[in-house]
A and B are shown apart, each in its own frame.
Chain A
Amino acid sequence: MTEMPNLYLPEMATIIETVQETPTIKTFRLVLNNEQRMKDFHFEPGQVGQLSVFGTGEATFVINSPPTRKEYLQFSVMRAGEVTARLHSLNSGDQVGVRAPLGNWFPYEDMKGKDIVFIGGGIGMAPLRTLMLFMLDNRADYGNITLLYGARSPVDMAFQYELPEWLGREDLKTTLTIDNPAQGWEHRVGLIPNVLLEMEPSAKNSVAITCGPPIMIKFTLQALKKLGYKDEQIITTLEKRMKCGVGICGRCNIGTKYVCVDGPVFSYAQLKELPNEL
């Protein structure tokens, strides 16, 4: 057989820590069993991986730890079906398979010197977390960094253990919001697009990066347009059903583009070029 890497063979990894983020989201921190591979493992913010639970299958998740922090690879998994349910049953010490990194990444080089506005909804905060921490670790390269993070209710908010730090940072302007008032909640109340309009981040020399449920994206885009953001200034990530993750199985295409290899990161200008099949 011609020697070539097997695209479908996962690497084995050990879960070293888990965090129950919300009733439906669990975070997994894992290290590749092969120490050298773990040391050499290189990925870019926004890239994804396929996690395997052997016997059930694979599913796609963003690597939501930044490449600047390499003690472990972090994935936050929302329970949706079979693979995610079985992942949720795993704990420290358990083994999973990993195929990563896959896909493209946020064009962070092009964003240097610009103001950055992150707008995350629910589990959509996961990919933003990677890029945001990466930028904070390379703070001098970027202008003002603003985060608007919304969830349905306080318990649905992931990364709670980090929120005090994010809120306290001088070099990050964090706004948290929930859909409806809740007891003990001392931040904003209101839907993300409305809060964004009130915040009025300037479009000048700025990039907005948004990720969340389709309905949130839709209205967030309208709000950004109102604020004067041009299509090239808005970046988002797409979700599609995936299997191979390497552009072969034919599942995730939108016309000529494959979300697994040409995405998942697209600018709004690129999305408009795609045929209408989101």
Chain B
Amino acid sequence: MAQAKFLKEADLAAWLGELAKGRKVLVPQKDGDAVVFKPWHEGVKPVLDRQATESPKKAVFPASEKLFRFSYIKDPENPGKVRVELEEPEKPEPALVFGGRPCDARGFLIFDRVYDSPKTRDSYYVARREATAFVTLACPEASNTCFCHAVGSGPADTAGSDALMTPVEGGYVLEAISPKGEELLKSPLLSDAGDKLAQAERVKAQAVESLPPAPDFAGSPEALMARFDDMGFWENASAKCISCGACTYLCPTCYCFSITDEESGMKGVRMRSWDNCMSYQFTLEASGHNPRPTKAHRLKNRVGHKFSYYPLIHKGAIACCGCGRCIKSCPVSVDIREIVTMAIEAAPTAEESAQPQGAKQ
């Protein structure tokens, strides 16, 4: 471990004040009954004792952002002649996501493989990603919707974070994970962690113990493929779904978007906004044909993308960080863990598929 520091609870506001110099600091805050990530300012007390309702994905992937501005410009000599000028947006400002959970920071690793690959680099995403740091809070306690440990993570996972905070008596132990994190921990408000480190390790171990039993997702890519044409299975799995899309908007790993123009007079903007595969319009073709005409087809794609297609493309990496938000916030309690597990259990095992018609070969 490069360095570990201790922050007194009483110094939290002062440290946030330091961090907020020259950058936007997003912290989880109350918004009615929900907890959402909003810019910190003097007097804001971050909500750190429970998982935020939304993920902080908008820090790097805003719910809607300008791709560019356009303006139609008439030639004064010849008004029939009009040219178009395009103007790219400014660089994003430096930002810090403070107090997200390990699953939140890890969500961006799932984005990275798609938005920042050797083949395709999304300049908007890459610029925001580079400008954003994560000081993540190790989960002191899991809730019954958590399953990070089933997707290769855990309550103190450091992957994707720049620094990890663990709550201990009287304050937080801070560990730098990346050079960005080391910079952030240079504050004179922080002291050496010393004997607090051992306590932090105990907190992390307790969190692991508090997790509900891990569902077993081994074989999900093949099992979901095997269920692809079993529409009865998907109708059953999606029976309760009301296609509200909450699961996708709250998910730290859902990354689909739409592109739309907004025009006013001779000027306008081209926007990119979150979109969601649970909506009928998402795949509706101009001919009127829709390859995913029912909610069963669409739920199949959402679950299939996360637990089958993405892992098949990206060396087994599941496109879900196990945060459980889609389960917690679904108005009708659709549970993605159950669906994947059911698909795995329903898939014939090697012996089963060999037995009945096995005589063929």
Which residues of A are interface residues toward B (Cβ below 8 A)? 1-2, 4-10, 12, 54-59, 80-81, 84, 93-95, 97, 213-214, 239-241, 243-244, 246-256, 275-278
Number of A-B contacts (CB under 8 A): 131
Q: List 10 A-B pairs, minimum CB-CB distance, nearest first.
A: A55-B263, A250-B256, A80-B286, A54-B70, A256-B309, A1-B127, A275-B228, A95-B84, A8-B67, A57-B261
B291 contacts A277, CB within 8 Å?
Answer: yes
- In the complex with contacts A7-B122, A8-B272, A56-B263, A256-B88 CB distance below 8 A: no
- In the docked arrangement, what's the CA distance between A55 and B72, Å? 10
Q: Out of A6, A12, A241, A278, name the residue touching B88 (CB < 8 Å).
A: A6
Q: Is B21 located at the chain interface by the 8 A CB criterion? A: no
Q: Out of B72, B256, B312, name the residue touching A54 (CB < 8 Å).
A: B72
B225 contacts A255, CB within 8 Å?
Answer: yes
B86 contacts A10, CB within 8 Å?
Answer: yes
Interface of B is mostly: mixed
- In the docked arrangement, what's the CA distance between A56 and B83, Å? 16
- In the complex with contacts A95-B83, A256-B312, A277-B287 CB distance below 8 A: no
Q: Out of A241, A247, A248, name the residue touching B285 (CB < 8 Å).
A: A241
- Give the distance to chain B from A83, nearest Cβ to Cβ, in Å: 9
A97 contacts B84, CB within 8 Å?
Answer: yes
Question: Other than the known A2-B126, A8-B270, A94-B82, what 5 A-B pairs have Cβ atoms closer than 8 Å?
Answer: A243-B259, A244-B259, A250-B256, A250-B257, A252-B283
B84 contacts A54, CB within 8 Å?
Answer: yes
Interface of A is mostly: loop
- In the docked arrangement, what's the CA distance between A276 and B120, Å? 27
Q: Is B345 located at the chain interface by the 8 A CB criterion? A: no
Which residues of chain B come closer than 8 Å to A80, judged between CB atoms? 286-287
| Residues of chain B in range 101-124 having any CB-CB distance to chain A below 8 Å | 114-115, 119-124
Which residues of chain B come closer than 8 Å to A243, judged between CB atoms? 257-259, 275
Which residues of chain B come closer than 8 Å to A93, judged between CB atoms? 80-81
Q: Out of A1, A12, A97, A214, name the residue touching B289 (CB < 8 Å).
A: A214
Q: Is B297 located at the chain interface by the 8 A CB criterion? A: yes
| Residues of chain B in range 49-89 having any CB-CB distance to chain A below 8 Å | 67-68, 70, 72, 80-84, 86, 88
Q: Is B154 located at the chain interface by the 8 A CB criterion? A: no
- Give the distance to chain B from A53, nearest Cβ to Cβ, in Å: 8
- In the docked arrangement, what's the CA distance between A214 and B263, Å? 35
- In the complex with contacts A95-B83, A243-B259, A256-B312, A84-B286 CB distance below 8 A: yes
- In the docked arrangement, what's the CA distance between A30 and B341, Å? 53
- In the docked arrangement, what's the CA distance between A254 and B312, Å? 13
Which residues of chain A come closer than 8 Å to B313, judged between CB atoms? 256
Q: Out of B68, B114, B297, name the residue touching A248 (CB < 8 Å).
A: B114
- In the docked arrangement, what's the CA distance between A176 and B126, Å? 51
- In the complex with contacts A2-B130, A256-B309, A256-B313, A277-B261 CB distance below 8 A: no
